[in-house]
Amino acid sequence: MTTIKKHQGFTLIELMITVAILGILAAIAYPSYTAQVQKSRRADAQVALQEIAQRQEAYFLRNRSYAKDLTQLGYAATSAEGQYGLSIAPTPGTCTGLAAAACTAYVASAAPATGKPQVHDKPCQELTLNNRGTKTAKDSSNAASTVCW
């Protein structure tokens, strides 16, 4: 009596087809994943700018002027997760008095920190928020961007 051996396993062609399919799926999924991660990291900047705005308003109530830098507000120069560098600047022409001590307007900015992955977020290279609550953003070519807020 002759026995027939049944082979178990995959052929090289079946394996290569599977690898090709996985490669195609990864090529489609990875860019979407990185875009979502960048979008979620923007929240770090948005929260930081909102906190700066809150502290600026409290500072204004106490001093009748907006703070000129983050140290006056007791705020760090980087966002909570370290993805963004933060700054504030008085709006030009809004500081009066002795040595331009009293400022009536400001712009808070967040830009991706050097060496952080958020530097590759080309549509949102700078987010700003001013004393009137106006939210703006610029892309990598310094043009206005509407997808950041």
Burial of 44 (0-12, 13-18, 19+ CB in 10 A): buried
Per-residue tens of pLDDT for the chain, all 149 residues: 667 777 778 889 999 999 999 999 999 999 999 889 999 999 999 999 999 999 999 999 999 899 988 999 999 999 999 999 999 988 877 777 655 568 889 999 999 999 999 999 999 999 999 999 999 999 999 999 998 98
> How far is it, in rounded angstroms, from Cα 82 to Cα 84?
6
DSSP notation for 57-126? HHHHHHHSS--SSHHHHT--SB-TTSSEEEEEEEPTT-EESGGG-EES-EEEEEEEPTTSGGGG-TT-SE
List the chain domain ranges: 42-138
